[in-house]
Chains A and B, each alone.
Chain A
Amino acid sequence: MADASSICKSDFCNAGWAEVLTHMSPYGFANFGVAFGLGLSIVGAAWGIWLTGSSLVGAAVKAPRIRSKNLISVIFCEATAIYGVIMAIILTNKIKEPELADSYLSANWDFNGFYYAGYGMFSAGLSVGLTNIASGVSVGIAGSSCAIADAQDASLFVKILIVEIFASALGIFGIIVGIIQSNACTFPVAAL
């Protein structure tokens, strides 16, 4: 811990992490929410696609008939990225520029709503991003097994596809909760 002499007494000093976070602009939080929601969803989708894709290509060498059918697994992974894009569009539309002439916020500005919107959109983006990573990876693993199983026995394809649908549903849970989370988030545009 810092000793007494090094503690800053001025009003303009940084008083710790709580202040670091509150001093970040809610617009910044909201935009980071968009970035995480989209970015992590796409990480999940890409992860799933290479898990599936490498197995699909390998298994198709001996059983070429599986190649078009198993593109469904790749599409399921892709859907994960689309959830991220949908969420990113919803969140981006909620970020509104304030109608202020100068760069200072007036005293009767709705600070509660302002911070609520920033944190809410950040969390909504993160919820969507993290669930989509989990969803993308699990769809990818199921898709990889699906390609290999289908190459051996075509009747297994539909059965494993159902497993994949459930894995894909994980991403939908994320986006539903994300939308609800961000629903009440509205950036104030003018002072009250």
Chain B
Amino acid sequence: MPTAPPKGATGDLTTFNVFHGFPEALVRGMRSSFLTDADYHHLTQCETVDDVRLNLSESDYSSALADMAVMTPASLQKAAIEKLVTEFKYLRSQAVEPLSTFLDFVTYEYMIENVMLLLKGALSGRDINELIAQCHPLGMFKESTMRSIPTFENSAKGYADLYQTVLVDTPVGPYFAMFLQESAEHRGDSRNVLEEVEIEIIKSSLIKYWLEDFAQFVEKLGGDTASIMGDLLKVRADTNAINITLNSFGTPLNEPAMRASDRKRLYPAVGHLYPVGSTMLVDVANEEELGRVLELFPQYKAIWNIHASGQGDISIDDAFYERDVQTLELAFESQFHFAVFYAYVKLKEQEIRNLVWISECILQQQKDEISKFVPVFSFHSPWREKKRS
């Protein structure tokens, strides 16, 4: 694995605060900036996007939206992400080892996404400036690095050059190297392997390596961080494995030969599904068979049933989002561990998704769709309602 073992320890109940007390309290203070049930209620009553803005001026977003001329869902999203990134960078600047490495790990995911976005954009011949503007600000490289990524040709040699000249210096370089090496070993011919591999497959492999690396790092940190963050990553890995299988149906990846050779390699070697579940997933050829595998795992059975029943037009993504919010909220239930930092970023992303959804619905006059979002720390979440009744 590329990452060195953590420098220093997280500390336990009695020593965590020596190095990480301040950033932890900061992020827990930031928890109060999540929109409340009342905020969401007011937002869904809005008639125009400007009303949304007016409502948000009472919230933590007011300063982020202050100097925006015309608010659109896209500009709202951009401003909100920028706000999240500012907060994250503040936390990062207050962090010392091993928390700083932990926070860097959170950003690697966005770096991988940005590299893939640039490569994909270059394939379809889009303008580089436009592409860079679309990149997630958490995963930014140096300007020169960003500009040089799309200049490499879409071939095995091009990717090897891309790795050797540009990505080798970035934190995601080791994952790319592992990918190149594995595909070389796998096909036995290092020059011609990548041409036919789609960008999505590269992305899935890089994310897989990132997840495995992150999981191992967290495991080495030990303590509450290992158990709470380990569980979040396991759930994340399982979601990826299920989604990869589900999205492969109807693509060449689902052909029997590809299933065992290529799709199998995309399943992360962490998670509740690993190893028994992911071995079973290898042979899955259609939704029905996938359902039969997930039937064996109680935590995914319910999610799968939502998808399989097809009623109430809730997609499997929505079901996963809801489950994610529920598990991420749990990270805030205990103190003196690192998982809150990851959970905060992910929950804020969910909130931004909610805001975009609400403002899009208002813009397109789709009032009956407006309540289909997953509020964060809501008093009316299904799992809280269940507990009360």
Contact = CB atoms under 8 A, between A and B. Distances in A.
Interface of A: 47, 50-51, 53-63, 137, 140-141, 144-145, 147-148, 151-152
Among B22, B29, B335, which residue has the most Cβ atoms of chain A within 10 A? Answer: B29
B14 A54 contact: no
A62 B29 contact: yes
B86 to A, nearest CB: 14
Contact of A58 (B13, B14, B24): B24
B21 A144 contact: yes
B23 interface: yes
Contacts of A59: 25-26, 28-29
B29 A144 contact: no
18 contacts: A47-B14, A50-B17, A55-B24, A55-B25, A57-B22, A58-B28, A59-B28, A59-B29, A61-B25, A61-B29, A62-B33, A63-B29, A144-B21, A147-B25, A151-B25, A151-B28, A151-B29, A152-B32
Given A47-B14, A50-B17, A58 B31 contact: no
Interface in B24-67: 24-26, 28-33
B26 A58 contact: yes
A26 B85 CA distance: 64
Interface of B: 13-14, 17-18, 21-26, 28-33, 335
Q: Is the interface of B mostly helix, strand, loop or mixed?
A: helix
A51 B21 contact: yes
B28 A148 contact: yes
Contact of A50 (B21, B23, B28, B33): B21
Given A51-B17, A56-B25, A148-B29, 6 more contacts: A55-B17, A57-B25, A60-B29, A62-B29, A145-B335, A151-B25
Contacts of A60: 29
A53 B22 CA distance: 9
Contacts of A55: 17, 21-22, 24-25
A2 B22 CA distance: 56
Contacts of A152: 28, 31-32
B364 to A, nearest CB: 35
Contact of A141 (B13, B22, B23, B33): B13
Contacts of B32: 62-63, 151-152
Contacts of A51: 14, 17, 21
Among A47, A50, A56, A144, which residue has the most Cβ atoms of chain B within 10 A? Answer: A144
B30 A54 contact: no
Instruction: Please provide the 7 A-B residue pairs with the shortest distance between their CB atoms, ordered closest to farther.
Output: A58-B25, A54-B21, A62-B29, A55-B25, A59-B25, A58-B22, A58-B26
B33 A58 contact: no
A83 B13 CA distance: 24
Nearest to B21: A54
Nearest to B14: A137
A133 to B, nearest CB: 10
A54 B17 contact: yes
Contacts of A145: 335
Contacts of B18: 50, 54
A151 B24 CA distance: 13
A81 to B, nearest CB: 17
A57 B23 CA distance: 10
B26 A61 contact: yes
A58 B22 CA distance: 5
Given A62-B33, A144-B17, A148-B335, A54 B22 contact: yes
A56 B17 CA distance: 11
Contacts of A144: 17, 21, 25, 335
Contacts of A53: 21
Contacts of A47: 14
B223 to A, nearest CB: 15
A190 B28 CA distance: 64
A83 B56 CA distance: 51
A63 B28 CA distance: 10
Contacts of B25: 54-59, 61, 144, 147-148, 151
A60 B17 CA distance: 15
A141 B14 contact: yes
A13 B23 CA distance: 59
Contacts of B21: 50-51, 53-55, 58, 144
A78 to B, nearest CB: 17
B260 to A, nearest CB: 50
Contacts of B33: 62
Contacts of B26: 58-59, 61-62
A62 B335 contact: no
A73 B324 CA distance: 35
A90 B313 CA distance: 76
B212 to A, nearest CB: 32
Contacts of A140: 17
Contacts of B24: 55, 58
A61 B28 CA distance: 10
Contacts of A148: 25, 28-29, 335
Contacts of B23: 58
A30 B18 CA distance: 34
A145 B336 CA distance: 10
A62 to B, nearest CB: 3
Contacts of B29: 58-63, 148, 151
